[in-house]
Amino acid sequence: MKTSNRVLLSVSVLLIAGCAHVAPQYGVSADSLELMKSLRTSASKRIAVAPFTSQEPNKQSIMCRGAGPVEASDGKTFEAYLRDALITELKFAELFDEKSSSVLRGHLEHIDFNSNIGAGNWTMKVSFSSPGTEPFTVQHTYPFSTNFIANIACGQVATALVPATQSFYRAVFNHPGFRRLLTDR
Protein backbone atom coordinates (compact mmCIF):
# COMPACT_ATOMS: atom_id res chain seq x y z
CA MET A 1 0.00 0.00 0.00
CA LYS A 2 1.34 3.43 -0.91
CA THR A 3 2.23 5.84 1.87
CA SER A 4 -0.40 8.35 0.70
CA ASN A 5 -3.09 5.65 0.85
CA ARG A 6 -2.00 4.66 4.37
CA VAL A 7 -2.19 8.26 5.52
CA LEU A 8 -5.62 8.66 3.93
CA LEU A 9 -6.80 5.42 5.56
CA SER A 10 -5.44 6.48 8.96
CA VAL A 11 -7.11 9.89 8.75
CA SER A 12 -10.40 8.27 7.66
CA VAL A 13 -10.31 5.88 10.62
CA LEU A 14 -9.67 8.76 13.03
CA LEU A 15 -12.52 10.81 11.58
CA ILE A 16 -14.93 7.90 11.75
CA ALA A 17 -13.90 6.83 15.26
CA GLY A 18 -13.86 10.36 16.67
CA CYS A 19 -12.46 11.27 20.03
CA ALA A 20 -14.03 10.91 23.42
CA HIS A 21 -15.36 14.05 25.05
CA VAL A 22 -14.73 13.63 28.77
CA ALA A 23 -16.60 15.63 31.38
CA PRO A 24 -14.58 17.50 34.01
CA GLN A 25 -14.47 16.13 37.54
CA TYR A 26 -17.45 16.99 39.69
CA GLY A 27 -17.34 19.94 42.02
CA VAL A 28 -19.85 21.26 44.53
CA SER A 29 -21.76 24.38 43.51
CA ALA A 30 -22.11 27.35 45.84
CA ASP A 31 -25.90 27.25 45.40
CA SER A 32 -26.07 23.61 46.50
CA LEU A 33 -23.78 24.29 49.44
CA GLU A 34 -26.05 27.08 50.69
CA LEU A 35 -29.11 24.86 50.29
CA MET A 36 -27.41 21.98 52.08
CA LYS A 37 -26.34 24.23 54.96
CA SER A 38 -29.99 25.13 55.51
CA LEU A 39 -30.95 21.44 55.38
CA ARG A 40 -28.24 20.60 57.91
CA THR A 41 -29.80 22.89 60.49
CA SER A 42 -33.05 20.89 60.40
CA ALA A 43 -31.48 17.45 59.85
CA SER A 44 -31.76 14.94 62.65
CA LYS A 45 -29.34 12.46 61.08
CA ARG A 46 -26.67 11.85 58.51
CA ILE A 47 -27.00 9.38 55.67
CA ALA A 48 -24.96 6.80 53.79
CA VAL A 49 -25.25 6.21 50.05
CA ALA A 50 -25.39 2.71 48.58
CA PRO A 51 -23.93 2.00 45.14
CA PHE A 52 -26.42 3.17 42.52
CA THR A 53 -28.03 0.73 40.15
CA SER A 54 -29.03 1.59 36.60
CA GLN A 55 -31.56 0.79 33.90
CA GLU A 56 -28.49 0.46 31.66
CA PRO A 57 -25.82 -0.95 34.01
CA ASN A 58 -22.20 0.04 33.46
CA LYS A 59 -23.00 2.66 30.80
CA GLN A 60 -19.84 4.73 30.46
CA SER A 61 -20.54 6.79 27.36
CA ILE A 62 -23.21 8.19 25.07
CA MET A 63 -22.50 8.76 21.40
CA CYS A 64 -22.62 12.37 20.25
CA ARG A 65 -23.38 13.25 16.61
CA GLY A 66 -20.83 10.81 15.25
CA ALA A 67 -18.11 13.03 16.75
CA GLY A 68 -17.28 10.51 19.44
CA PRO A 69 -18.68 9.50 22.79
CA VAL A 70 -19.33 11.73 25.77
CA GLU A 71 -18.00 10.19 28.97
CA ALA A 72 -18.10 10.97 32.67
CA SER A 73 -14.76 11.77 34.32
CA ASP A 74 -12.26 9.15 35.45
CA GLY A 75 -13.80 6.37 33.32
CA LYS A 76 -16.77 6.09 35.69
CA THR A 77 -20.15 4.73 34.73
CA PHE A 78 -22.91 7.31 34.82
CA GLU A 79 -24.49 5.70 37.88
CA ALA A 80 -21.13 5.82 39.71
CA TYR A 81 -20.59 9.43 38.62
CA LEU A 82 -23.99 10.47 40.00
CA ARG A 83 -23.46 8.55 43.25
CA ASP A 84 -20.01 10.05 43.78
CA ALA A 85 -21.40 13.54 43.07
CA LEU A 86 -24.10 13.02 45.71
CA ILE A 87 -21.54 11.83 48.25
CA THR A 88 -19.39 14.88 47.50
CA GLU A 89 -22.37 17.18 48.11
CA LEU A 90 -23.29 15.39 51.35
CA LYS A 91 -19.72 15.46 52.64
CA PHE A 92 -19.37 19.20 52.05
CA ALA A 93 -22.65 19.73 53.89
CA GLU A 94 -21.52 17.42 56.71
CA LEU A 95 -24.56 15.20 56.12
CA PHE A 96 -22.71 12.05 55.03
CA ASP A 97 -21.84 9.14 57.29
CA GLU A 98 -20.83 5.94 55.54
CA LYS A 99 -21.75 3.96 58.67
CA SER A 100 -25.22 5.46 59.05
CA SER A 101 -28.18 3.11 59.30
CA SER A 102 -30.06 5.50 56.99
CA VAL A 103 -28.88 4.34 53.58
CA LEU A 104 -30.03 6.13 50.45
CA ARG A 105 -30.28 3.98 47.34
CA GLY A 106 -30.43 5.40 43.84
CA HIS A 107 -31.57 3.79 40.60
CA LEU A 108 -30.60 5.66 37.43
CA GLU A 109 -33.63 5.25 35.22
CA HIS A 110 -32.52 7.56 32.44
CA ILE A 111 -29.62 9.76 31.41
CA ASP A 112 -29.19 11.35 28.00
CA PHE A 113 -28.47 14.60 26.25
CA ASN A 114 -29.48 16.58 23.21
CA SER A 115 -26.71 18.41 21.38
CA ASN A 116 -28.90 20.19 18.80
CA ILE A 117 -28.58 23.95 18.43
CA GLY A 118 -31.23 25.71 20.49
CA ALA A 119 -32.18 22.49 22.26
CA GLY A 120 -29.02 21.46 24.08
CA ASN A 121 -29.80 19.72 27.36
CA TRP A 122 -28.98 16.92 29.76
CA THR A 123 -31.89 14.89 31.13
CA MET A 124 -31.54 12.74 34.24
CA LYS A 125 -34.08 10.63 36.07
CA VAL A 126 -33.21 8.83 39.30
CA SER A 127 -35.46 6.96 41.74
CA PHE A 128 -34.37 7.15 45.37
CA SER A 129 -35.31 4.91 48.27
CA SER A 130 -34.33 4.28 51.85
CA PRO A 131 -35.77 1.79 54.34
CA GLY A 132 -38.52 3.37 56.40
CA THR A 133 -39.19 6.28 54.04
CA GLU A 134 -41.37 6.65 50.98
CA PRO A 135 -39.44 6.32 47.68
CA PHE A 136 -39.28 9.34 45.39
CA THR A 137 -38.17 10.04 41.84
CA VAL A 138 -36.58 13.16 40.42
CA GLN A 139 -36.45 13.89 36.71
CA HIS A 140 -34.60 17.01 35.69
CA THR A 141 -33.60 18.68 32.43
CA TYR A 142 -30.71 21.12 32.30
CA PRO A 143 -30.50 23.34 29.19
CA PHE A 144 -27.25 24.67 27.76
CA SER A 145 -25.91 26.22 24.54
CA THR A 146 -24.48 24.12 21.75
CA ASN A 147 -22.72 24.72 18.46
CA PHE A 148 -23.40 23.80 14.85
CA ILE A 149 -19.98 22.11 14.60
CA ALA A 150 -20.30 18.59 15.99
CA ASN A 151 -16.92 18.39 17.71
CA ILE A 152 -17.46 21.71 19.50
CA ALA A 153 -21.06 20.82 20.44
CA CYS A 154 -20.00 17.47 21.88
CA GLY A 155 -17.30 19.19 23.93
CA GLN A 156 -20.01 21.52 25.25
CA VAL A 157 -22.13 18.49 26.16
CA ALA A 158 -19.26 17.01 28.18
CA THR A 159 -18.55 20.32 29.91
CA ALA A 160 -22.25 20.75 30.76
CA LEU A 161 -22.40 17.45 32.67
CA VAL A 162 -21.05 19.06 35.86
CA PRO A 163 -23.52 21.97 36.03
CA ALA A 164 -26.31 19.62 34.89
CA THR A 165 -25.51 17.28 37.79
CA GLN A 166 -25.31 20.21 40.21
CA SER A 167 -28.71 21.43 38.99
CA PHE A 168 -30.15 17.91 39.24
CA TYR A 169 -29.03 17.60 42.85
CA ARG A 170 -30.50 20.98 43.76
CA ALA A 171 -33.82 19.53 42.53
CA VAL A 172 -33.19 16.40 44.65
CA PHE A 173 -32.32 18.41 47.76
CA ASN A 174 -35.49 20.48 47.35
CA HIS A 175 -37.66 17.38 47.04
CA PRO A 176 -39.82 16.64 50.11
CA GLY A 177 -38.74 12.98 49.98
CA PHE A 178 -35.09 13.93 50.45
CA ARG A 179 -35.95 16.30 53.29
CA ARG A 180 -37.96 13.55 55.02
CA LEU A 181 -34.95 11.24 54.75
CA LEU A 182 -32.86 13.69 56.77
CA THR A 183 -35.48 14.47 59.41
CA ASP A 184 -37.46 11.24 59.98
CA ARG A 185 -40.65 13.21 59.13
Q: What is the pLDDT of residue 9?
A: 37
Q: Is residue 146 within 8 Å of 159, Cβ to Cβ?
A: no
Task: Evaluate if residue 15 carries a pLDDT over 70.
Answer: no
* Domain annotation covers residue 8: no
State the total domains in the chain. 1
* Domain annotation covers residue 91: yes
* Domain annotation covers residue 152: yes
Is the overall model pTM greater than 0.85, yes or no?
Answer: yes
Give me the percent of the chain exceeding a pLDDT of 90.
74
Instruction: For residue 115, give the CATH number of its domain.
Output: 3.40.50
Identify the three-state secondary structure at position 149: coil
Signed CA dihedral, 125, 141, 155, 18: sign only: positive
* Domain annotation covers residue 7: no
Residues with Cβ < 8 Å from 179, sequence gap 6 or more?
A: 39, 42, 185
Span 135-185, pLDDT tens digits: 999 999 999 999 999 999 999 999 999 999 999 999 999 999 999 998 865
Distance CA 130, CA 47 (A): 10
Over residues 122-129, the mean pLDDT reads 98
* Domain annotation covers residue 24: yes
Domain that residue 57 falls in: 19-183
Backbone angles phi, psi at 48, to 5 degrees: -105, 165
* Domain annotation covers residue 13: no
* Domain annotation covers residue 11: no
Give the chain's end-to-end CA distance (angstroms, integer): 73
Span 41-86, pLDDT tens digits: 888 899 999 999 999 999 999 999 988 999 999 999 999 999 999 9
Nearest to 93 by CA among 173, 36, 26: 36
Span 83-97, pLDDT tens digits: 999 999 999 999 999
